[in-house]
Structure 1
Amino acid sequence: MGTGRREPIEGGRLLKEKPRRDVLLIATLDTKEEVVEYLRNRLLEKGKTVLLLDCSMAVGRSRLEPEITREEIAQWGGAAFSAVATSDQFEGGRVMMEGIRRVVSALFAERKFRAALGIGGSNGTLMATAGMQELPVGVPKVMISAMACGNTQFGPYVGTKDIIMIPSVADILGINSITKPIFDNAVHALVAMLDRKEEPFPPGQEQIALSMLGQTTPAGMAGRALLEKEGYRVVAFHPNGVGGAAMEEWIARGAFVGVWELTPHEVADELLSRIHSAGPNRMTQAAEMGLPQVVVPGCVDFFYGSPGPPHELASRFRERQTYMINSQIMLVKITAGEAVRVARELANKMNRSRGPVTLVVPRKGISRYDRPQYPFYNPEVDRVLFEEMKKALSSRIRLVELDLHISDPQFGEACASILLEMIKPVDGPLEVYRGKRKRLWKNDLFR
């Protein structure tokens, strides 16, 4: 059973004929009928109309009549519903997820709804949020889920979008004293989002993308102040896997005129642990588009150990330099051998850029704990990392080395001033930063 990529002609015509409503309600009606009816009635009481989408995969029928049927979803996914109903759950779910993605995207393009609400367990959550991920940021998206718990990775459900996950606490089976207030809160929240007064963001201000962890926040804040003084707005992304993927997505959409990779930590995590990985395409969009980039090897000197109890993590990494940042997460310092791999990967990503790139290296440490008397201080590992990057770096890439720590606000100011020159080239340094440049760059090494 394959998934076709072409839009079904009949399906396309039928979607255009669907009514225009306020809320798209996504659920498996074969198992969630009672709750769906409750949510729909509550929304109607609040003056909001509902477009019901059924993503059931079983042959049983519901007494509710959805505007978008499971048969239509399967058709848009490239198969007949009879094939979905008789296939294994994995293959059937794959077809239905593809259908939901395409149907939700097509319905929203026709302005058939203004917000999305989903309910479900494991499969229902995966299918409903697959559709929600097709919607732009800012469109209200609420998912009531039995999977919204602390033991679940949220990446597959939320992706790079602003989906609000509400734990159902109890499983979604009827209305009871535990679930009723949760369902009511979800309805009230969605209605409030729909009723808010639209306040468009002021247009015309150019934006700069910034990758920043808590460890690099002092430099990021200092640099942001200078960039915004020059008229740019800075958008920071948390490089935790999802953050970096979102950053790449918005770069590809043309949202930025420059990129400050203060913390490309996800590149190291992709190679060494994949807990905070943003995938192999991290640091590719700006390179392909030729955007000016300032790249700092911020926080590439560690990776995240697997989440777990402290005693288990301590045993697993007992031969390594480590630091527990909370009761569940351990940071692990890279070795000299790992530093070679990370350095070459970063250099290769910079070398592929079609635009100007400046690598700025803080010689006194590239993470908060990379300094004397701190747990990640290891001059030999840092030396290997820097030397390998230099060797692998193309002669087209400008190299600046500063006698500063990455946590120093002055380091952030220097990076910002470099990026400003790259975005708006002038003869000589920008006047407003000339004094700082002379003081900070006195012993810089250029290549």
Structure 2
Amino acid sequence: MGTVYIVGTCDTKGAELNYAKGVALSAGADVVLVDVGTLGEGAGADIMAREVAQFHPAGEEAVLGQIDRGTAVSAMAKALTAFLTSRNDIGAVLGLGGTGNTALVTEAMRALPIGVPKLMVSTVASGNVAPYVGPNDLTMMYSVVDVAGLNAISRRVIGNAANAAAGMARNPVPSSGDDRPGIGMTMFGVTTACVTEVREMLGETHETYVFHATGVGGQSMEKLADSGLLQGVIDVTTTEVPDLLVGGVFPATEDRFGAIIRTGLPYVGSVGAVDMVNFGARETVPAAFRDRRLHVHNAQVTLMRTTPEENSRIGAFIVDRLNRMQGQVRFLLPLQGVSAIDAVGQPFHDPEADAALFSAIRTAWRDAPNRRLIEIDAHINSPEFAAALVASFHDIHA
């Protein structure tokens, strides 16, 4: 059984945090109350704010020596991240607070591996929580009333959260017992045929986790890689890169491919769906792009064909990351089209744009014993290309 770490600012939320601690203790959990306040000493903490602050790379003064509260809170978030990631007994993390403490605590929670229970009781949990959650298994629980004193409502909400955290810490989910290696895969509607065939070919020997390439999907796959929960990646669909570089609604972050660089996981990749930038409904396409080649995928998604110039930038971004990978890498180029609508006779068929993409990757590719660039004279959704992906994966993953 792990320990419940209850985290908050004891200088302003001491009563609420100590109440949560009491509930979790009554539920049978081991509990540590961690103070991350920057205004002064709080009561009841097991780990004082100065102890957490000492985990900041620049030391305690970088956190508690700040006059500006915003600067202090940002510094405390870095210190808390280092503190929590140094612990080996976490059964669950429970945070309580308003906007400032939510930003502080969830930053540290996001650094923890997938599978570690993370629960944040927050005044902002009924709004857009994407900046707090990101690609993580982080649960946001709306506080209903402000975390500003105990009353009949706050006791119920905080008590429920404390019991939930205690229950998760006391009852860790056992391993499934499936000893097949877990493989991350990226997919979009226009690469579904390829991914489906690869999944079927690997189904007997590998457990496949498919991520819809909608920005957070790629981030989620890489979070699992960083968490040590993948044994390899078949990154068929890198369409989040065009959205990042051109301005679509499903963008990657600048850290796309970063987890593979950091971990050295076996990596097979391709350029699935980089022929498009994603927008919402037709009327939401930015004015600067309304004269471009557009395709209405459905009522809520409009696609824009990437140009040769854009494809050169996309290829340069991807190959730069590939060249930094130190693990085994195979990157495959489907020379007959990169998506279902980039085939001959389809609305985004554009050999010149594809050629610019392939040329950018070939030109900047750095040969190395661990990396191979493989060109397949087939469409990405063809059985031939799926077979080449699987063969490449077997080549680098025993």
Check whether TM > 0.5.
yes
Contact 2:292 2:305 in 1 (8 A): yes
For residues 347 and 82 of structure 1, do their structure 2 counterparts lie closer, same or farther at Cα, with a shift above 3 Å needed?
Answer: closer
Aligned amino acid, residue 113 of structure 2: P
Aligned amino acid, residue 400 of structure 1: I
Q: Does 1:205 align with 2:184?
A: no
Secondary structure in 2 matching 1:346: helix
Contact 2:272 2:339 in 1 (8 A): yes
Aligned amino acid, residue 367 of structure 1: S
For residues 255 and 48 of structure 1, do their structure 2 counterparts lie closer, same or farther at Cα, with a shift above 3 Å needed?
Answer: closer
- Cα distance in 1 for partners of 2:331, 2:271 equals 11
Give 2:44's aligned residue. Answer: 65
- Paired residue for 1:359, among 332, 345, 369? 332
Give 2:317's aligned residue. Answer: 345
For residues 70 and 299 of structure 1, do their structure 2 counterparts lie closer, same or farther at Cα, with a shift above 3 Å needed?
Answer: same
State the 1:65 CA deviation: 1.5
Secondary structure in 1 matching 2:285: helix
Q: Deviations over 1:179-232 (max 9, x none)?
A: 555434433432432343642243753343322334433422321121132x22
Q: Does 1:147 align with 2:124?
A: yes
State the 1:143 CA deviation: 0.9
- Paired residue for 1:397, among 373, 395, 398? 373
- Cα distance in 2 for partners of 1:185, 1:91 equals 32
State the 1:132 CA deviation: 2.2
- Cα distance in 1 for partners of 2:126, 2:339 equals 31
Higher deviation after alignment, 165-174 or 283-292: 283-292
Q: Does 1:102 align with 2:74?
A: no
- Cα distance in 2 for partners of 1:415, 1:82 equals 49
- Paired residue for 1:259, among 233, 246, 258? 233
Higher deviation after alignment, 46-55 or 76-85: 76-85
- Cα distance in 1 for partners of 2:310, 2:214 equals 20
- Paired residue for 1:44, among 18, 25, 43? 25
Q: With structure 1 as the length reference, what TM-score do the two structures score?
A: 0.72
The unaligned stretches of length 5 or more in structure 1 are: 1-19, 425-447
- Cα distance in 2 for partners of 1:318, 1:116 equals 47
- Cα distance in 1 for partners of 2:159, 2:83 equals 27
- Paired residue for 1:172, among 126, 147, 157? 147
The unaligned stretches of length 5 or more in structure 2 are: none
Q: Deviations over 1:52-101 (max 9, x none)?
A: 11212224x65x41111223223333455797375112321132112212
Secondary structure in 2 matching 1:357: strand
- Cα distance in 1 for partners of 2:68, 2:3 equals 34
Contact 2:21 2:162 in 1 (8 A): no
- Cα distance in 2 for partners of 1:21, 1:420 equals 38
- Paired residue for 1:236, among 210, 217, 223? 210
User: Superposed, which structure 2 residues align to 1:277-426 within 5 Å?
Assistant: 277-283=251-257, 286=260, 293-305=267-279, 311-313=283-285, 315-322=287-294, 331-351=303-323, 355-361=328-334, 363=336, 365-370=337-342, 376-390=348-362, 392-393=364-365, 397-402=373-378, 404=379, 406=381, 411-423=385-397
Aligned amino acid, residue 339 of structure 1: N
Q: With structure 2 as the length reference, what TM-score do the two structures score?
A: 0.80
- Cα distance in 2 for partners of 1:359, 1:83 equals 47
Contact 1:133 1:159 in 2 (8 A): yes
User: Superposed, which structure 2 residues align to 1:109-188 within 5 Å?
Assistant: 109=88, 111=89, 113-154=90-131, 157-175=132-150, 182-188=157-163
Contact 1:224 1:416 in 2 (8 A): no
Q: Does 1:24 align with 2:5?
A: yes
Aligned amino acid, residue 332 of structure 2: L
Give 1:91's aligned residue. Answer: 71
Work out the percentage of aligned pairs sharing the same amino acid. 28
Aligned amino acid, residue 318 of structure 2: L
Structure number having the greater strand percentage: 2
Contact 1:210 1:236 in 2 (8 A): yes
For residues 182 and 346 of structure 1, do their structure 2 counterparts lie closer, same or farther at Cα, with a shift above 3 Å needed?
Answer: same
Q: Deviations over 1:122-175 (max 9, x none)?
A: 220122123323433322111112233443542xx3355422122334433345
Secondary structure in 2 matching 1:114: strand
Give 1:55's aligned residue. Answer: 36
Contact 1:297 1:366 in 2 (8 A): yes
Aligned amino acid, residue 70 of structure 2: F
For residues 31 and 312 of structure 1, do their structure 2 counterparts lie closer, same or farther at Cα, with a shift above 3 Å needed?
Answer: farther
Contact 2:335 2:375 in 1 (8 A): no
Higher deviation after alignment, 414-423 or 95-104: 414-423
Secondary structure in 1 matching 2:277: strand
Aligned amino acid, residue 47 of structure 2: I
- Cα distance in 1 for partners of 2:318, 2:62 equals 49
Contact 1:205 1:232 in 2 (8 A): yes
